[in-house]
Amino acid sequence: MNSVRPVSPDRLPELLRVMPKAELHIHIEGSLEPELIFALAKRNGMALPYANVETLREAYAFTNLQSFLDIYYAGASVLITEQDFYDMTRAYLERAAQDNVIHTEIFFDPQTHTARGVSMETVIKGLHRACVDAQAELGISAALILCFLRHLSEEDAFGTLEQALPWRDLIVGVGLDSGEVGNPPEKFARVFARCRELGLHLVAHAGEEGPPAYIWTALDLLKVERIDHGVQSAKDPALMQRLAKDRIALTVCPLSNLKLCVFPDLAQHNLPRLLDAGLAATVNSDDPAYFGGYMNDNFTQTFAATGMDAQHAWTLARNSFDASFADAAARRGHIERLTACFETFR
Ligand code: ADE
Ligand code: ZN
């Protein structure tokens, strides 16, 4: 089903909520809600520099990516035990399942934790156990993507990869995140080449705040299969053509872009333009606890602001399954469920 019947504007939000979808860009540390930050701090006997949940939430007023990252890394410091990592991941998976996310590929930032003395084993075992339980209990499939922090060195990234190797089979791929400008993809070309040899899938944040040149080098030097964000590609017509021709998925995060001032308002977000140019864009939540919304909030608010329609909804959900690292049989099953959902909206 490639063209869908029109859906009346009053039924569109319901369609967006109930349609099955995959989330391909979620930082698990960015799903830590203030309530859970306080609960984990208490459990671990840690003091926080905020009096309560409300004052912490009030600090979530960001001007750019770095202003967010400072508070995000501080929030993640309450994660100490395997159970902490489990509880965080379980809470996200329950919330995602409510939004009819049926498959998710979860980023995690091990260097944020290993630098504080938390072992790679603690991090990965907690995340993985939550994914296994969620598949059995919630019917949502989840895979893990280890992200290297690009503000740190190549050497630190190689050391992190080494530490993760005993759990290689619990990881579907690697990514690249943290402060983009001044940390171009080429800094990690050799690490990504090694990950490629190991058979890991490759993705990278590029063109969130950084220039189109970073998207070109993520593709040509890192050889990534998806670009995380990628919204700055609209500044480079040749890049748009390349992304469309090669069906490189962009994992776009509208509410994140709004909160980090990448676009002045959602009505000016370029998602419809990217889709209409034939790019394989998807919708994702990035750091939902910090940016004011999970998957369905991203869909409903962006559609309301930009006037996208049911055809766009179909394309976004279909792209999310096509671009996922699930195996071919699972992807076919996901697309069948999507088709069945749209049939009920005839
Ligand atoms: N880490 C968590 N969220 C991020 C984002 N939006 N960009 C880069 N690194 C991140
Ligand atoms: Zn991100």
> In a mutational test of the pocket of ligand 1, which residue from 23, 26, 177, 188 has the highest number of ligand atoms less than 8 Å from its CB?
177
Catalytic residue (one of 82, 180, 208, 209)? 208
The domain ranges of the chain are 12-343
List per-residue pLDDT tens for the chain, 346 residues long. 668 988 999 999 999 999 999 999 999 999 999 999 999 999 999 999 999 999 999 999 999 999 999 999 999 999 999 999 999 999 999 999 999 999 999 999 999 999 999 999 999 999 999 999 999 999 999 999 999 999 999 999 999 999 999 999 999 999 999 999 999 999 999 999 999 999 999 999 999 999 999 999 999 999 999 999 999 999 999 999 999 999 999 999 999 999 999 999 999 999 999 999 999 999 999 999 999 999 999 999 999 999 999 999 999 999 999 999 999 999 999 999 999 999 998 7
Helices (H), the chain: 12-18, 34-43, 53-58, 65-76, 82-98, 110-114, 120-138, 154-164, 189-197, 212-220, 237-245, 254-259, 271-276, 288-291, 295-306, 310-322, 328-343
CA of 27 to the centre of ligand 2 (A): 6
Parallel, antiparallel, or unpaired: how do β-strands 101-108 and 141-149 relate?
parallel
Distance of CA 199 from the midpoint of ligand 2 (Å):
23
| Ligand 1 and 27: CB distance under 6 A | yes
pLDDT in the model for residue 3: 80
pLDDT in tens, 102-149: 999 999 999 999 999 999 999 999 999 999 999 999 999 999 999 999
Q: What digits encode the pLDDT tens for the residues 72-84? A: 999 999 999 999 9
**What is the second-level CATH architecture of the domain 12-343?**
Alpha-Beta Barrel (3.20)
Task: Spell 328-337 as b/e; 16+ CB within 10 A means b.
Answer: eeebebbbee
Strand-pair category, 173-177 with 201-206: parallel
The secondary element (H helix, E strand) that includes residue 223 is: none
Q: Which residue has the tokens 């700055």?
A: 232
